[in-house]
Amino acid sequence: MKARDILLDDETLFKDEEVFTPSYVPEDFLHRDSQIKEITLSLKPGLRGVNPVNTLVHGPCGTGKTTAIKYIFNEVNQASSKLVTVYVNCEDHNTRFGIFSKIHEILFGVSPPDTGKPLNAVKEKVFRKLSKENKSLVVALDEIDQLFLNQTVDKLLMDLLKAHTTYGYDRVGVVGILVDRSVMADLDQKAKSVFNPIEVFFPPYSLSEVEDILATRVRYGLYDSVLSKKLFAEIASKTYDVGDLRFGIDLIRRSALFAEQDSVRKIDSEHVEKAFGTSKDKKFEQILNSLDASERKFMEILVGTGPVRSGDLYVKYREKTGSGVKKYNQLISKLEHVGLIETMPLPGRGQSREIKTRYDLDNVREILGL
């Protein structure tokens, strides 16, 4: 088949392929009622003209944190114009100016003029407009951990939450979103006390919740009988093992694409197997590439040792990085939390654990470029 024949061939197994894309916000947002309620209640004061309650949203990858915020912000915008909602992904905007530009963009419809305007001028313009219009502001800082890398976070929180001292405006709330809340312990004392958030945890979904959510996606996205019950159950169970819904959504999409490539009308188990291989590698690569320098170093050492006793690994880690045991233990819990490593208690050895990667060592080496 020529490229053009492939492109023009409109036989498809997808009723709506968009429901499998990363930016799709589902209409049916299932099994997150209590989290939605808690977050909404903390925003509600903003609709009454005072500051929303600061909130920290945390939980493992692919548990619906970003989706929940986008969903709630949509609802707020439909209910009232008293509370201005600004969503920022800190991977894309990680400076104070960048984040205030986003706020400016929402308020004025355009980015601030790119004439080297100092941050203070933009801040003043933003807060003046909000005061004049009698509106509150909530800023969601998704992936807020990115702001720790360049030491932006403390100053930014003061910019937003201490705006009253300079600009007389005190109706700001911040929603921080991240996987591992322990990072927040690194805030400086002042920022910690002005932020002081309520916390909302997004736990991994249970198997039946994963099934419910994926079944809804399949209903919207694929034609009937493209995916058998048996293969669906297999995909749901693999997704549950990985603990990330994004993985399951991607797996269904890739399986269907492989079936399309074979010009058949049903996904078979080989398509799922093949898609499983590629989806698993992709997820794993994403996680490895998002590590900071010390986490990378840790993985490099672990790849060198293979499965190893925690105490022995610590000695090597300290030699290479000079870090103490507290930092080491925090690293282990974070990497276990994001699914890169697993730890197993060693029988009869008190606190001692064995640590190993959850993926093939050669694979890890290759992605880390070792």
Ligand X SMILES: Nc1ncnc2c1ncn2[C@@H]1O[C@H](COP(=O)(O)OP(=O)(O)OP(=O)(O)O)[C@@H](O)[C@H]1O
Where in 97-156 is the site for ligand X (CB under 6 A)?
none
| 227, 218 contact by CB (below 8 A) | yes
By CB under 6 A, tell whether 67 contacts ligand X: yes
62 binds ligand X (CB under 6 A): yes
Please tell me whether residue 175 binds ligand X under the rule CB under 6 A. Answer: no
Which of 179, 257, 291, 335: binder of ligand X (CB under 6 A)? Answer: 179
Q: Which of 13, 43, 56, 61 binds ligand X (CB under 6 A)?
A: 61
- Least distance (Å) from ligand X to the CB of residue 65? 3
Residue 245 near which of Mg ion, ligand X, none (CB within 5-8 Å, type-dependent): ligand X
Could you give the string, one character per residue 43-82, with x where binding to Mg ion holds by CB under 5 A and - elsewhere? Answer: -----------------------x----------------
Cβ(353)–Cβ(344) below 8 Å: yes
Q: What is the DSSP string of 34-91?
A: HHHHHHHHHHHHHHTTSPPPPEEEE-STTSSHHHHHHHHHHHHHHH-SSEEEEEEETT
Residue 61's binding partner out of ligand X, Mg ion, none, with CB under 5 to 8 Å set by partner kind: ligand X
Name the E strands within 110-180.
Answer: 136-142, 172-178
Between CA 349 and CA 356, with CA 354 as vertex, the angle to 5 degrees is: 175
Size of the site for ligand X (CB under 6 A): 18
Q: Which residue is nearest to ligand X (CB)?
A: 64
Q: Which two tokens stand for residue 305?
A: 């040792």
Give the amino acid at 349: R
Q: How many residues does the chain have?
A: 370
Do residues 239 and 280 touch, judged by C-beta distance below 8 A? no
* Residues within window 220-249 making contact with ligand X, judged by CB under 6 A: 245-246, 249
CB of 61 to ligand X, least distance (A): 3
Q: CB under 6 A: which stretch of 42-50, 55-63, 294-302, 323-331 binds ligand X?
A: 55-63
To the nearest whole angstrom, how small is the minimum distance from the Cβ of residue 98 to ligand X?
A: 19
Q: Directed axis angle between helix 229-242 and helix 269-289, to 10°?
A: 20
